[in-house]
Amino acid sequence: MASKRVRRVFHWKGQHLADPDPTMTPEEVRDYYADLYPELTTAVVTPLEETDGKASFSLEKPKAAAVAKSGGGSYKFEGSQGRRG
């Protein structure tokens, strides 16, 4: 019995990107399109769904890490040298 090939579609910012080569991994497809869309170099590949012989993948910017706020201190500048006061 012959295996049925699944067609893949990649989604990036509302665009549907065609699969350049079915033998490539989803990460290789991301890297392939990174030449055209440089933001993809750090994109995360997420499989979405597979229906009717079509597999969909989402290419998204990684979630920003939470930035902790520090209490910090006040600074007093005297002359050309900054000193913490």
Q: What is the pLDDT of residue 26?
A: 96
Mean pLDDT of 58-84: 62
57 pLDDT exceeds 90? yes
Determine which of 4-13, 39-48, 67-76 has the lowest per-residue pLDDT on average: 67-76
- Look up residue 56 and give its two tokens: 């969909």
Q: C-alpha angle 35/37/39, rounded to 5°?
A: 110
Q: What are the extents of the domains in the chain?
A: 7-60
